[in-house]
């Protein structure tokens, strides 16, 4: 187990280094086009390419993107925790894929309150592909069916909440598909637990921000809470 966890930690760190550039590209307001170059010197930024873990442009050293080593550390931690609970296999692969996309989305949403459709789609397709391959090899069709139904059910619930409450956006509704799929693989209980955990985490975050700012103004991105809640549910319920 120690070797598996260490290997996944290192892999997660390397993946975090790759998705850091994706965070830089997408962490822009919804009214702005994707960032393709450093705003200070114009050096080109491509998705899934190397970008310094320090968060500084390799040419002009200006700070661009997430905090130093934050994306790498978060990705490594997620991969290691998943490896701690699950053996090597397609399930771990699918969840690490979802985890890598989730870390990317969390940093983007926290920065600009935006959950890019194409990144959510990449997460859903990759996770579903791994789960489907696992199902074909293992024959757990019921498990795959529950995961898909959980994805649809959770997204429907978020859609209803988005219609009734202003704090939830359509990005959260789409992210709920990925969250429901990843947690639903372990049963409906995991999906429900993830939803409850997300509400609690978001509430604690709101209180912490209010105390820090000494006022109850502004909004907090709900996406990171959904993703952390999903990780907590998977770690708590998975065998």
Q: Convert the chain into a string of H (helix), E (strand) and C (coil).
A: CHHHHHHHHHHHHHHHHHHHHHHHHHCCCCCCCCCCECCCCCCECCCCCCCCCCCECCCCCCECCCCCCHHHHHHHHHHHHHHHHCCCCHHHHHHHHHHHHHHHHHHHHHHHCCCCHHHHHHHHHHHHHHHHHHHHHHCCHHHHHHHHHHHHHHHHHHHHHHHHCCCCCHHHHHHHHHHHHHHHCCCHHHHHHHHHHHHHHHHHHHHHHHHHHCCCCCCCCCHHHHHHHHHHHHHHHCC
Condensed to tens digits (0 to 9), the pLDDT of residues 1-28 reads 889 999 999 999 999 988 998 999 998 8
In a domain, 64, yes or no: no
In a domain, 141, yes or no: yes
Q: Which domain holds residue 198?
A: 124-239
Mean pLDDT across the chain, nearest whole number?
89
In a domain, 209, yes or no: yes
Residue ranges for the chain with pLDDT beneath 50: 216
> What's the total number of domains in the chain?
1
In a domain, 39, yes or no: no
In a domain, 167, yes or no: yes
In a domain, 130, yes or no: yes
In a domain, 200, yes or no: yes
Condensed to tens digits (0 to 9), the pLDDT of residues 41-76 reads 878 887 667 778 888 888 888 888 788 899 999 999
In a domain, 206, yes or no: yes
């Amino acid at each position: 187990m120690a070797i598996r966890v260490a290997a996944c930690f290192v892999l997660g760190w390397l993946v975090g280094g790759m998705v850091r550039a994706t965070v830089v590209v997408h962490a822009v307001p919804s009214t702005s086009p994707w960032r393709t170059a450093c705003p200070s010197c114009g050096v080109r930024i491509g998705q899934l390419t190397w970008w310094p873990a320090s968060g500084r442009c390799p040419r002009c050293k200006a700070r661009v993107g997430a905090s130093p080593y934050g994306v790498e550390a978060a990705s490594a931690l997620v991969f290691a925790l998943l490896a701690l609970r699950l053996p090597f296999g397609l399930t771990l692969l699918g969840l690490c894929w979802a985890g890598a996309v989730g870390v990317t989305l969390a940093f983007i949403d926290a920065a600009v309150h935006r959950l890019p459709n194409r990144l959510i789609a990449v997460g859903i397709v990759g996770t579903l592909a791994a789960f489907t391959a696992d199902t074909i090899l293992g024959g757990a069709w019921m498990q795959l069916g529950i995961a898909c139904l959980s994805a649809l059910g959770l997204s429907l619930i978020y859609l209803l909440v988005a219609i009734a409450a202003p704090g939830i956006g359509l990005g959260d509704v789409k992210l709920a598909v990925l969250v429901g799929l990843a947690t639903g693989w372990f049963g409906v209980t995991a999906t429900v637990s993830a939803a409850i955990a997300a509400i609690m985490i978001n509430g604690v975050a709101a209180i912490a921000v209010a105390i820090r700012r000494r006022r109850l103004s502004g909004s907090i991105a709900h996406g990171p809470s959904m993703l952390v809640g999903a990780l907590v549910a998977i770690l708590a319920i998975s065998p």
